[in-house]
Amino acid sequence: MNRLTETKIMLVVRSTRLADLKARFATKSQARFYVSNLGGDFDDYEKEDAAYQRAIADAQHTLSELGRVQVVQRVFLPNFVFGKEDIIVALGQDGLVANTLKYLNGQPLVGVNPDPERWDGKLLPFQVEDLETVMREVLKGGRQKREVTMAEARLNTGLSLCAVNDLFIGMKSHGSARYRITLGRSAENHSSSGVIVSTGLGSTGWFKSLMTGAMEVAAASGRAGAVIPHDSQFPWESDYLYFTVREPFPSNTTGSKLVFGKVTQQQPLVLESLMGENGVIFSDGIEHDFLEFNSGARATITLAGRRGRLVV
């Protein structure tokens, strides 16, 4: 095959709802019975899967004429090692782009929308038919890239975890998380639903929801007057993060003053676990890829030493 280059192009894909159902129920007919019996529209599952499989096939065909293509399933990302010169293409929803980006170390990432009529992705500027033009420009180094600041949680055990959108520090279940939180000279013991640390890229997601909810609760309870910070949606490349404590409970032994603030390289956020079990830290909504955060564990949260690079 006459390729444009021998550069390796990694095509990251994920399983569809139909594929997950088939894995669960063994056959498509059994999956159909399950969904239909509950009143669901199984035809929509099939349409989604068919469109995605077409997009994968078309993307592979286009990319194979440009470089060496390897398909990587999302589930293998935590243990997959990307080469320094690899170019990565994520074919899926925004979550796939964010989840892929945190496992990279400066390699360019192209986000491609496989089904524009179904998905409206902020991180998916391209469609499959754009791939040839875009990838030729990327391979020649002529395509613009935007840097993305990532957050990092580093434990006193030496383990660490990066996040493109946000970190969650709390309990596995819906129980109260107990920890000591420190920012600069301020510190208190907390009992809460957990702490969210958001990046600029994540500021339009979970962070926005938290800010909106807080303001609406304040307004509805007659305590309006607080103002949402002007940078509640802040740039992807910002040199700071924001942390938000969810539902802090004030008591004789726990406080509720240190519940929101800015995290910088010079002023990291430090949390010490006071939980005997079920304490976790995970990122970008991927709960199965987590760090244990139990008694004795201390997490330092700050900006990651590396940044993501999204092709735009």
**Domain CATH number, residue 237:** 2.60.200.30
| pLDDT at residue 217, rounded to an integer | 81
| pLDDT at residue 227, rounded to an integer | 57
Check whether 6 has a pLDDT greater than 90: no
Does some domain include residue 309?
Answer: no
| pLDDT at residue 2, rounded to an integer | 67
| pLDDT at residue 209, rounded to an integer | 87
Comparison of pLDDT for 110 and 224, the residue scoring more: 110
**Confidence label for 194 from pLDDT (cuts 50, 70 and 90):** very high
**Confidence label for 150 from pLDDT (cuts 50, 70 and 90):** very high
* Domain shared by 135 and 262, yes or no: no
* Domain shared by 107 and 199, yes or no: no
| pLDDT at residue 286, rounded to an integer | 83
The candidate with the shortest Cα–Cα distance to 302, out of 168, 203, 208, 197, is: 197
Q: Of 108, 128, 143, which residue is a domain's last? A: 143
Average pLDDT across the chain, whole number: 92
Q: Of 119, 143, 167, which residue is a domain's last? A: 143
| pLDDT at residue 176, rounded to an integer | 94
Comparison of pLDDT for 108 and 288, the residue scoring more: 108
* Domain shared by 15 and 124, yes or no: yes
Check whether 1 has a pLDDT greater than 70: no
* Domain shared by 116 and 154, yes or no: no
Q: Of 120, 143, 166, which residue is a domain's last? A: 143
What is the domain count for the chain? 2
| pLDDT at residue 215, rounded to an integer | 82
Does some domain include residue 310?
Answer: no
Does some domain include residue 2?
Answer: no
pLDDT in tens, 16-36: 999 999 999 999 999 999 999
Does some domain include residue 291?
Answer: yes
**Confidence label for 5 from pLDDT (cuts 50, 70 and 90):** confident
Quote the domain boundaries for residue 102. 8-143
* Domain shared by 86 and 183, yes or no: no
| pLDDT at residue 162, rounded to an integer | 94
* Domain shared by 176 and 282, yes or no: yes
* Domain shared by 83 and 197, yes or no: no
* Domain shared by 234 and 293, yes or no: yes
| pLDDT at residue 141, rounded to an integer | 85
**Confidence label for 169 from pLDDT (cuts 50, 70 and 90):** very high
Q: Residue 27: what residue type?
A: T
| pLDDT at residue 88, rounded to an integer | 97
| pLDDT at residue 231, rounded to an integer | 53
Check whether 226 has a pLDDT greater than 70: no
* Domain shared by 39 and 128, yes or no: yes
| pLDDT at residue 196, rounded to an integer | 96
| pLDDT at residue 225, rounded to an integer | 58
| pLDDT at residue 4, rounded to an integer | 73
| pLDDT at residue 287, rounded to an integer | 84
* Domain shared by 166 and 114, yes or no: no
What average pLDDT does the segment 59-68 reach? 95
Stretch among 48-52, 201-205, 266-270, 301-305 having the lowest mean pLDDT: 201-205
* Domain shared by 282 and 161, yes or no: yes
pTM of the model: 0.85
